[in-house]
């Protein structure tokens, strides 16, 4: 695949307002920086090819190449991507109660991976106020402090780039689907660097329907709640349709209709709800917000999940077929929306260097023909 | 002892035009001189200051040109001889007061010296100050060479005292900054006594109060002012500095003034046109000596005006010619309006040659094309094209780096309103093209104050202004006052490099010593801004990260006017010049060069002249001769390849 340089990334992604601020291009060099949720291109870099462009999950993504690289099979547009097993999970008896978003599966697995030295460090996303702040965590006890979802899009991968530059290997990463796509692209050594080594040992992907624009989200909440006092933010699974803000004195809820305008356009272009290019993907179980949905995709993912279960860090059971079908329905919906949105914008298989995504006709058809899903005509969230 | 006060009989010295003006003023017994620095005028106040003790002078760098003119006017009102000096833009600043002064009149001889900069060699524009003489209704003199630059000054002082009004002297860069031999005259004694008399009748020019107020009767004040101008015109008819060279009835008459008279002489002589072309060199260019002009106009059928920038002489002489049409007949005029000479930029002998050869139908090629081509090729070989940039170790480069980055990170299309100083280069790649407006002294902050109030119309771009320390006192304080009072949310970045750096480190009101070397109270900008009510932060621009953080913080802080003082002495300042803080080197093994991960940000973007790119080895180097040792580049290198070692 042809790669381009930073100017093209700026034109095709940042100026086009397709940047989600994932941080994959940030801190590789002096040109891209993240500030208050936005990625800034500081000065023009004249290189024809660069890691910034190659890593970006919003331009020239080739799911088929990623699928072949990670799972040794073609990308066929299935709603949940490639998987080995799907479970219901939560933190086990070995884990003290912590502030988790739901079942604590993600924090627990990262804690376990660090303790068992499967990874040298974990790239996690904490927060300062409402601002998501990515961090390299090397002490296992520190993992717990980074629990809970930050619903604003975060530059998590900037911390990963810094850790790699500092010489860390075998990293664990907790990533949203766009971030997990970027990490998969990093792992492919796109610029054929001879001294390259896969920087990851474990990629845990989160489920994601959309994230929020940090600056808009902050401005929205600043007018309504004392930002400093926020304990937790949650978007409980449907049919709730609210955003909940936990404060010491209680909970405030905001209808999702008020929140959706804070979602960046770029989330509409996204086909991936379940972090298809991660080792393991984790979400909230519908109807049971205290439990997680867990999808195991790779061999190394399978290994750690098995061990974490065996050592009672994790409690798991099989997922009922009914739940899985509903999950597939939701993920399929997002795929259709994404394909329509990219097509409308001319960014599905479009001009080299500005296309978001490359898919063959057969896969596009499969996604759009998925009968379980409704016939949404627009790409609006 | 300075050669400027050499009292030897008939001695000659090689003087800059500006020094010749100073010597002329000394021979005229000047007492007070005030000015504001600005190229090409600055050497005048500096030269006065060097002989201030011996000559019993009071000399100052004033806060701005208007104040300088007021200071000099006070001396005149008290019966002394005085002079105020500035560059062309300064006359604009002083013009409000000047219009009043021209109306009230002066007592002791007083001169306004304006050094214009045709071609804007060291200015943001090539504004023409001569038109002020007409507007202000005061006489204007333009010396034509170095000797005249000295000789014309005592003559001008006498004129000022005869007509009781200020007289304007206009020099240009090529006269002020070039040097020539000047024969000295005697110096008078240094005794002087100042006293302001005001007890006479209200409108008595010699004994009453000095006021400029029409009092509903223009004829009482404006009338006498115009009489003074008429008197000056009469004196100009026999002014010894208006000269004519050439045949009695030339085919073509060149009318010229100032440095252009030298170009004209050279061109006529190269073309061997001495028998055909006459040159009327005028020193008295406003008001024009009508009879003298008529005489010369009558003698020639064709007239060529050789002057720089605006067609000032051209327009004024044409009026004389029109009025005298019946006597002198119809003339053919050449000059800017006919397209024979350009109306922008400096003139030179070559341009005059080209105009003359066209008019006189002489085959002349100013320089053969092949020759100019060869010259350009050679020049390119030895002098690669270079953009304008800041000096090595300049704090402005670091300041703009942080401002640029803060605005990019902020991501709301913020911008900087530029101002006058070396930091005008904020509009260029040297300053990362951060400044998006650039006008007069202090205007950056005034414009920013205005932008700050446009939120009501949906404008949400962050607005910054930059302003030097000298500019702050000169004209930016009223703008800041306005912004604070109107609650305009902009951020003023005060680039405090401890002196009026661009023009050569003249002191300003924030300095501890004045131009005479006396210790004086220094005004503290930080305290002033705080007392005015601005939110104030201070940072060292060499601390890039801290400066950037403070900037982002201030830019996000929406309430009212904010000031960030970036304090770091100019690289050429006496305290830093030749003293390196760090020894800076590049560790080649770590340098990423053009690879993904740097792409030579140091040499390609940061652009300090101390950093050089080795094309062969594909690594960057530090040129230890040029490097000023500020060590800032070590903080921009992403690979830690630039190493700085503190010099003990
Ligand atoms: C923006 C966003 C949208 C989501 N949308 C859905 C959804 O639609 N459906 C669904 O089932 N689940 C969604 N999730 C996932 C869900 O909120 C939980 O993160 C997940 O179920 C894991 O729960 P847990 O208790 O194991 O997490 P915890 O153990 O509490 O751990 C949370 C982990 O998430 C990481 N994290 C937090 N915020 C971010 C961020 N902004 N970017 C990257 N990493 C982050 C932290 O590093 C931490 O390791 C979303 C999460 C995010 C961040
Ligand atoms: S091409 Fe490389 S050096 Fe240039 S901006 Fe991209 S990552 Fe940075
Ligand atoms: S890599 Fe991430 S942060 Fe960079 S441009 Fe792409 S989406 Fe934005
Ligand atoms: S919807 Fe897609 S693009 Fe938006 S945050 Fe989630 S994974 Fe990223
Ligand atoms: S910034 Fe550093 S790594 Fe980049 S070219 Fe300069 S010295 Fe080399």
Q: Which tokens sit at B608?
A: 């300090």
Q: Is the CB of A274 under 6 A from ligand 1?
A: no
Q: Which tokens sit at A191?
A: 């610029």
B368 pLDDT band, cuts 50/70/90, is confident
Of the partner residues A42, A46, A191, the one whose CB lies closest to the CB of residue B599: A46
Q: Does residue A305 contact residue A106 with C-beta atoms inside 8 Å?
A: no
- Averaged pLDDT for residues B294-312: 96
Strands A32-35 and A38-41, sheet pairing: antiparallel
Q: Which residues contact A356 (CB under 8 A, 6 or more apart)?
A: A18, A58, A59, A60, A61, A269, A342, A345, A347, A348, A350
Structure ipTM: 0.93
Q: Is the CB of A301 under 6 A from ligand 1?
A: no
Q: Which of B409, B433, B596 to mutate to test the interface with A (most CBs of A within 10 A)?
A: B596
> Which residue, A165, A168, A162, A106, is CA-closest to A134?
A162
In Å, how far from its chain's centre is CA A18?
Answer: 15
- Read off φ and ψ for residue B305, nearest 5 degrees: -95, 125
Q: Does residue B561 contact residue B551 with C-beta atoms inside 8 Å?
A: no
- Three-state DSSP state, B177: coil
Q: What is the pLDDT of residue A325?
A: 93
Q: Could you tell me what percent of chain B has a pLDDT over 70?
A: 99
Eight-class DSSP state of A73: S
Closest chain B residue to the Cα of A41, Cα to Cα: B408
Q: Which tokens sit at B354?
A: 């080209």
Eight-class DSSP state of B517: S
The mean pLDDT value of chain B amounts to: 94
C-alpha to C-alpha distance for B104 and B226, rounded to whole angstroms: 12
Q: What is the pLDDT of residue A376?
A: 54
Q: What is the pLDDT of residue B256?
A: 98
> Which residues' Cβ are closer than 6 Å to ligand 5?
B 586, 591-593, 598, 600-602, 620, 637, 639, 641-642
Q: Does residue B19 contact residue B47 with C-beta atoms inside 8 Å?
A: yes
Low-confidence ranges of chain A (pLDDT < 50): 377
**Nearest-10 crossing angle of helices A361-369, A321-344:** 120
Instruction: Name which CATH class applies to B243-359.
Output: alpha beta
* Candidates 1.10.150.20, 3.30.420.40, 3.40.50.970, 3.30.460.80; CATH matching B395-567: 3.40.50.970
- Averaged pLDDT for residues B183-196: 96
pLDDT digits (tens, 9 = 90+) for B15-36: 999 999 999 999 999 999 999 9
Q: Where in chain B is the domain with CATH 3.40.50.970?
A: 3-236, 395-567
Question: What's the N-to-C CA distance of chain A in angstroms?
Answer: 31
Strands A232-234 and A242-247, sheet pairing: antiparallel
Q: What is the pLDDT of residue B385?
A: 73
* Other Cβ atoms closer than 10 A to A369: 10
- Is the predicted pLDDT of residue B483 greater than 60, yes or no? yes
Pick the more confident residue, B365 or B328. Answer: B328
pLDDT digits (tens, 9 = 90+) for A303-331: 999 999 999 999 999 999 999 999 999 99
Strands (E), B156-263: 167-172, 179-183, 243-245, 252-256
- Three-state DSSP state, B157: helix
C-alpha to C-alpha distance for B436 and A160, rounded to whole angstroms: 36
Q: Where in chain B is the domain with CATH 3.30.70.20?
A: 582-646
DSSP code per residue over A241-261: -EEEEEETTEEEEEEHHHHGG
Q: Please give the interface size between A and B, counted as residue pairs whose CB atoms are below 8 Å apart.
A: 47
Query: Which alpha helices (DSSP H) does A208-360 contain, by range?
Result: 214-222, 256-259, 299-310, 321-344
C-alpha to C-alpha distance for A370 and A378, rounded to whole angstroms: 16
Is domain B582-646 annotated with CATH 3.90.226.10? Answer: no
How distant is the Cα of A38 from the closest Cα of chain B, in angstroms?
8
Contacts of A46 in chain B (CB under 8 A): 599, 604
Q: Where in chain B is the domain with CATH 3.40.50.920?
A: 243-359
Q: Does residue B121 contact residue B24 with C-beta atoms inside 8 Å?
A: no
> pTM for the complete prediction?
0.92
Q: Does residue A298 contact residue A69 with C-beta atoms inside 8 Å?
A: no
pLDDT digits (tens, 9 = 90+) for B546-566: 999 999 999 998 788 999 999
Q: What is the pLDDT of residue B383?
A: 78
- Is the predicted pLDDT of residue B142 greater than 90, yes or no? yes
* Candidates 3.20.20.10, 3.30.830.10, 3.60.20.10, 3.40.50.970; CATH matching B3-236: 3.40.50.970
- Averaged pLDDT for residues B86-92: 96
Q: Is the CB of A52 under 6 A from ligand 2?
A: yes
DSSP code per residue over B419-485: -SSGGGGGGSGGGTT-EEE--STTHHHHHHHHHGGGGGGT----EEEEEEHHHIIIIIHHHHHHHHH
Eight-class DSSP state of B610: T
C-alpha to C-alpha distance for B327 and A144, rounded to whole angstroms: 103
Strands B12-16 and B179-183, sheet pairing: antiparallel
């Amino acid at each position: 695949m042809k790669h381009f340089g930073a100017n093209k990334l700026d034109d095709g992604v940042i100026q086009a307002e397709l940047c989600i601020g994932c941080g994959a291009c940030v801190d590789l060099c002096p040109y891209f920086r993240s500030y208050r949720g936005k990625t800034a291109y500081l000065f023009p870099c004249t290189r024809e090819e660069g890691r910034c462009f190659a890593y970006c999950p919003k331009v020239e993504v080739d799911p088929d190449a990623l699928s072949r690289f990670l799972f040794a099979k073609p990308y066929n547009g299935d709603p949940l991507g490639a998987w080995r097993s799907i479970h219901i999970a939560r933190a086990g008896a070995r884990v003290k109660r912590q502030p988790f978003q739901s079942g604590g599966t993600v924090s627990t697995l990262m804690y376990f991976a660090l303790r068992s030295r499967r990874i040298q460090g974990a790239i996690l996303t904490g927060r300062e106020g409402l601002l998501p702040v990515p961090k390299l965590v090397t002490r296992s006890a520190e993992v717990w402090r980074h629990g809970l979802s930050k619903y604003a899009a975060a530059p998590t991968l900037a911390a990963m780039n810094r850790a790699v530059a500092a010489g860390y290997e075998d990293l664990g990463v907790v990533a949203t689907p766009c971030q997990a796509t970027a990490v998969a692209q990093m792992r492919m050594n796109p610029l054929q660097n001879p001294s390259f080594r896969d920087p990851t040992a474990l990629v845990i992907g989160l489920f994601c329907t959309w994230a929020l624009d940090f600056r808009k989200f902050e401005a929205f909440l600043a007018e309504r709640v004392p930002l400093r006092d926020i304990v937790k933010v949650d978007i409980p699974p449907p049919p709730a349709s609210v955003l909940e803000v936990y404060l010491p004195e209680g909970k405030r809820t905001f209808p999702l209709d008020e929140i959706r305008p804070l979602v960046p356009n770029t989330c509409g272009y996204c086909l991936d709800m379940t972090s298809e290019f991660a080792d393991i993907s984790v979400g909230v179980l519908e109807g049971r917000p205290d439990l997680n949905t867990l999808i195991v995709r790779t061999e190394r993912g399978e290994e750690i999940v098995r061990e974490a279960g065996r050592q009672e860090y994790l409690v798991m059971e099989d997922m009922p077929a009914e739940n899985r079908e509903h999950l597939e329905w939701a993920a399929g919906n997002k795929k259709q929306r994404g394909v329509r949105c990219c097509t409308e914008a001319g960014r599905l298989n479009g001009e080299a260097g500005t296309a978001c995504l490359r898919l063959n006709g057969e896969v596009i058809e499969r996604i759009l023909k998925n009968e379980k899903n409704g016939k949404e005509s627009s790409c609006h969230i | 002892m300075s050669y400027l006060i050499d009292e030897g009989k008939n001695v000659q010295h090689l003087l800059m035009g500006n020094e010749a003006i100073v010597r002329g003023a000394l021979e005229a017994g000047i007492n007070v001189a005030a000015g504001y620095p600005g190229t090409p005028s600055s050497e005048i106040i500096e030269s006065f200051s060097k002989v201030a003790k011996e000559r019993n002078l009071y000399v100052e760098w004033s806060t701005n040109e208007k104040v300088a003119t007021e200071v000099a006017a006070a001396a005149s009102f008290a019966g002394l001889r005085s002079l105020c000096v500035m560059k062309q833009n300064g006359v604009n600043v002083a013009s409000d007061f000047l219009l009043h002064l021209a109306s009230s009149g002066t007592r002791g001889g007083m001169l306004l010296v304006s050094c214009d900069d045709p071609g804007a060699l060291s200015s943001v524009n090539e504004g023409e100050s001569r038109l002020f003489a007409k507007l202000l209704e005061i006489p204007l003199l333009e010396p034509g060479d170095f000797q005249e630059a000295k000789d014309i000054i005592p003559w001008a002082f006498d004129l000022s005292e005869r007509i009781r009004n200020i007289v304007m002297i206009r020099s240009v860069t090529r006269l002020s900054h070039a040097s020539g031999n000047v024969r000295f005259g005697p110096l008078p004694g240094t005794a002087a006594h100042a006293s302001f008399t005001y007890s006479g009748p209200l409108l008595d020019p010699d004994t009453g109060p000095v006021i400029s107020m029409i009092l509903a009767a223009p004829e009482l004040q404006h009338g006498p002012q115009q009489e003074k101008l008429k008197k000056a015109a009469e004196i100009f008819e026999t002014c010894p500095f208006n000269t004519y060279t050439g045949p009695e009835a030339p085919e073509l008459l060149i009318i010229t003034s100032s440095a252009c008279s030298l170009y004209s002489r050279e061109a006529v002589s190269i073309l061997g046109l001495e028998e055909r072309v006459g040159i009327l060199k005028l020193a008295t260019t406003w008001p024009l000596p009508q009879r003298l002009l008529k005489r010369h106009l009558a003698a020639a059928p064709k007239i060529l005006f050789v002057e720089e920038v605006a067609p000032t002489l051209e327009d004024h002489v044409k009026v004389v010619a029109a009025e005298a049409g019946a006597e002198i007949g119809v003339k053919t005029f050449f000059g800017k309006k006919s397209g024979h000479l350009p109306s922008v930029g400096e003139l030179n002998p070559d341009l005059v040659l080209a105009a003359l050869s066209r008019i006189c139908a002489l085959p002349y090629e100013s320089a053969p094309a092949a020759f100019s081509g060869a010259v350009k090729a050679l020049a390119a070989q030895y002098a690669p094209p270079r953009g304008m940039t800041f000096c090595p170790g300049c704090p402005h480069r670091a300041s703009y780096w942080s401002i640029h980055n803060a605005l990019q990170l902020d991501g709301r299309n913020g911008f900087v309103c530029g101002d006058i100083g070396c930091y005008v280069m904020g509009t260029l790649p040297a300053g990362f093209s951060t400044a998006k407006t650039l006008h007069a002294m202090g205007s950056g902050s005034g414009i920013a104050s205005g932008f700050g109030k446009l939120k009501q119309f949906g404008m949400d771009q962050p607005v910054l202004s930059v302003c030097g320390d000298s500019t702050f006192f000169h004209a930016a304080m009223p703008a800041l006052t306005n912004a604070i009072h109107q609650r305009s949310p902009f951020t003023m970045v005060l680039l405090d490099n401890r002196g009026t750096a661009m023009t050569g480190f003249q002191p300003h009101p924030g300095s501890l010593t004045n131009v005479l070397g006396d210790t004086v109270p220094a005004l503290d900008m930080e305290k002033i801004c705080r007392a005015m009510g601005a939110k104030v932060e201070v940072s060292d621009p060499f601390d890039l990260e801290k400066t950037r953080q403070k900037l982002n913080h201030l830019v996000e802080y929406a309430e009212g006017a904010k000031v960030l003082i970036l304090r770091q002495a100019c690289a050429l300042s006496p305290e830093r010049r030749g003293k390196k803080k760090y020894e800076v080197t590049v560790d080649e093994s770590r340098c990423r060069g053009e690879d993904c991960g740097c792409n030579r940000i140091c040499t390609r973007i940061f652009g300090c002249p101390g950093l050089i790119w080795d094309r062969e080895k594909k690594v960057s180097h530090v040129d230890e001769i040029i490097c000023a040792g500020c060590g800032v580049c070590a903080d921009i290198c992403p690979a830690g390849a630039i190493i700085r070692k503190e010099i003990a």
